[in-house]
A and B are shown apart, each in its own frame.
Chain A
């Protein structure tokens, strides 16, 4: 009950967080901007140029979907970092922690609040992707649950890392580090070109430590054409999602441990 109360209050605060509102507005503006060429290409498509135009349309739809997905990562990282930091900065944490609330409960409430936010963002992203594909005359070939659950788990990982970092550093630094981690995770992925040039003794540990967000990317299953649709068994899905949840849980446990020992002073 207490955790849920903190989570819903955190969610309310997010709806008024200026930085989050700006991130959201920028994303919407970019989507609207990219819709212009999409609609233009569709309008000038004829029987003669249909094939090349379809390629352009598909490219734009894929770009927008990637952007929304990446924007969600930014949103999760910032929400995670600011959820705790804003309470410390304003001093509201003191009134809350004077109540019979344990530190881990406070942090769990904050984390749940971030997940609530991302739980609203993901269906929105999912709906926009479908809308764009439909406008481009395409149909997304992937199970809807994959497009919802995979991004949610990925964002849960980013939010947990951000919350862990913000327990001992400034939220802007924590946010930047999460971004660096996400880039490094992509560079060190097993099939990435950079990783192939590195010796195994570097590649292995780095890959093990960084979150394998590529593994949790819905892009693996997302295709606009049925021909390239990948087949994945339930066990493989379960394995990938369990990896993400475990990573998030470990980060959250470290965050709780770190938060337990810090001073709750007004920053």
Chain B
């Protein structure tokens, strides 16, 4: 069990040792004397490269798996089979090779740039989209001792980068020279800015209680058992839900897929994209979704901690990816259940419900921190989030300005 726990780190150490041995062998062979700092420079470069390659490969594999499993799970929820035919000669493999076929299809498609498009911005948009998405996973603690970059203000880094995808979406919409693209991009901006607030507010709640912006510290604060996870407190539960809903909106997932609502806007900002650039957009979207789910796991679901001490024989990174898989599944589940919002409902929900609720959870967390005994803390923080929930849920969605005395000019 210790072996499995340390497997990724041991693999990394093995590769570094091999590189070191190879360097020394090459030096001895060629007669060049490599200074100590040169060797350490090479080793640190290799170690950074190793982490980068691992992150990219793992996230791309998850993206490929997700793209086929999402369709299969969605199909099962609609009493269908979903893709189950792409395989290897006679072997179907439950259609799990579908992403390979999709990839070949995407890469062989023609890359069309509209004549009226702003060609440079049109070309840059997918790059601006995918670069921050691939940088997001760098600060998430995947397991014990497995944090690619230990930033003291990792949360800040994460949300700053996450917000920059809005720029790429608007670049894509604007440069396409297509009214549907611009409309989709406008919706995307409206949606992402509206939901950025509750997203960050609910993360700030955790930072308040944990007293740190470092993801690793936050995970360590939730160690022990499931009772210490932040989701098992009244304020944490509410903040977790708010974070989850905002994450859906930030990742453009159903029911917040208005920016690319196929039935209304062709495909929003993706309308004029084809082939590899389209695939890049999708990859960025899915990698961003995994990253934000990883952040949710880190902030509220205990990160890589096992739910109970006796379960800690399962490696910590397995716990992290298990929780991540559950969250990814739940996003498909939500997609299968809920229809798309209307744009005004979506904004109303953000500004009239999500943001007040995130302030309520902030107050509730403050009450949790500064009320002396546990019973009082529970009671206070439950009341502080429960009452606004009931009140807002009952009154903020009803239309008070309903038209009652409608006069028809010609039909009466």
- Are A and B a genuine interacting pair, yes or no? no
